[in-house]
């Protein structure tokens, strides 16, 4: 039984209500996508504080989908620390102070340490284009910049007791208006099994579209696991712990019957209140296509779950 009361959409409401309410953002994103197709670039200024990054092309599965226009990817977001509407993060996230910023790394490790964002940005970075799918049945294709999470793990040398990785996000009521609400228990907690975290596709992300992350997209550091639903990808991380027990994540606390620990994209396991069999690749809000298991990354990650009942371990 969920501790929180979530709105129950009608079965006919395949498009989320806030998509309709934020249609101006959709139209702007669609126009920006047209600019990408026509000119190869989006003609709008980067938000204040965004800096260019140096990186190399990273190894990632090839995608036939074109990257989502940056304007849409940075104005249509889930980030409840700044509000529950898709438009709220872009409107409200400018209050978040991302410098200075440190990430504490500890738990079952031989060399616990605290790293600054400047230390992370100074490491060898690469770009990977991943398709990201949200539990509300929409997806985007984002060129992320960062590094394999395994590089961070190597800095602290996890011990044999480390079975999971726990990510803790910032919770600053004075800078994050959503944290003053009861929509979730704060701080936001997420986690991965150790083999998931160490998989080559798991990406500690510091930027997107060749520049540092905008606040509304999880600045200054977030995690990206492209075969899982978007809520698994903790934003604005302040602490990483290698732990022996499975972490109790924010959405499991809010509604364990709806949001499981694994959150692997699976068209055969519906959300209790809507189907997961189809998705809309934005900016198309109306044309749907069949959802791919593991978000299309099954060849790379399916072996992690050999022998598991993925309906029970959703």
Residue by residue, pLDDT tens for the chain (314 residues) are 444 333 333 333 333 433 333 444 444 444 444 443 333 333 333 455 799 999 999 989 989 999 999 999 999 999 999 999 999 999 999 999 999 999 999 999 999 999 999 999 999 999 999 999 999 999 999 999 999 999 999 999 999 999 999 999 999 999 999 999 999 999 999 999 999 999 999 999 999 999 999 999 999 999 999 999 999 999 999 999 999 999 999 999 999 999 999 999 999 999 999 999 999 999 998 899 999 999 999 999 999 999 999 999 99
Question: Is position 310 within any domain?
Answer: no
C-alpha 208/C-alpha 276 separation (Å) is: 27
The total number of structural domains that make up the chain: 1
C-alpha 152/C-alpha 242 separation (Å) is: 11
Question: Is position 45 within any domain?
Answer: yes
Neighbours of 85 (CB within 10 A): 17
Query: Does residue 99 sit in helix, strand or coil?
Result: coil
CATH number of the domain bearing residue 276: 3.90.420.10
Question: Is position 98 within any domain?
Answer: yes
Q: Which domain holds residue 82?
A: 17-301
C-alpha 97/C-alpha 110 separation (Å) is: 31
Helices (H), the chain: 17-21, 23-39, 70-73, 88-92, 117-121, 149-156, 194-197, 250-255, 298-301
Question: Is position 309 within any domain?
Answer: no
- Where do we find the tokens 């371990």? 313
Question: Is position 282 within any domain?
Answer: yes
What is the token pair recorded at 59?
A: 């190894």
């Amino acid at each position: 039984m969920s501790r929180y009361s979530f709105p129950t959409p009608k079965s006919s409401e395949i498009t989320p209500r806030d998509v309709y309410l934020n249609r101006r953002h959709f139209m702007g994103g669609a126009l920006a996508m047209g600019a990408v197709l026509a000119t190869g670039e989006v003609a709008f200024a980067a938000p204040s504080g965004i800096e260019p990054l140096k990186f190399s092309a990273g190894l990632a599965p090839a995608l036939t989908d074109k990257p989502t226009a940056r304007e849409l990817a940075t104005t249509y977001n889930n980030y409840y620390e700044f509000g529950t509407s898709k438009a709220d993060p872009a409107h409200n996230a400018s209050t978040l102070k991302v410098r200075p910023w440190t990430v504490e790394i500890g738990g079952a490790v031989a060399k616990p340490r605290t790293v600054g964002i400047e230390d992370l940005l100074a490491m060898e970075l690469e770009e990977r284009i991943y398709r990201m799918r949200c539990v509300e049945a929409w997806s985007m294709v984002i060129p992320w910049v960062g590094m394999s999470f395994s590089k961070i793990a190597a800095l602290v040398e996890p011990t044999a007791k480390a079975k999971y990785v726990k990510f803790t996000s910032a919770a600053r009521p004075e800078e994050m208006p959503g944290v003053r609400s009861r929509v979730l228990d704060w701080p936001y907690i997420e986690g991965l099994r150790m083999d998931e975290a160490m998989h080559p596709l798991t990406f500690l992300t510091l930027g997107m579209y060749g520049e540092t992350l905008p606040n509304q997209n999880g600045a200054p550091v977030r995690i990206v696991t492209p075969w899982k639903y978007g809520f698994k990808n903790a934003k604005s991380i302040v602490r990483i712990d290698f732990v022996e027990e499975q972490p109790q994540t924010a959405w499991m606390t809010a509604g364990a019957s709806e949001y499981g620990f694994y959150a692997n994209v699976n068209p055969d396991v519906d959300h209790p209140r809507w189907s997961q069999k189809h998705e809309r690749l934005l900016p198309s809000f109306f044309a749907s296509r069949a959802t791919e298991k593991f978000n299309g990354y099954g060849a790379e990650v399916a072996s992690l779950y050999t022998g598991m009942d993925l309906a029970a371990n959703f």
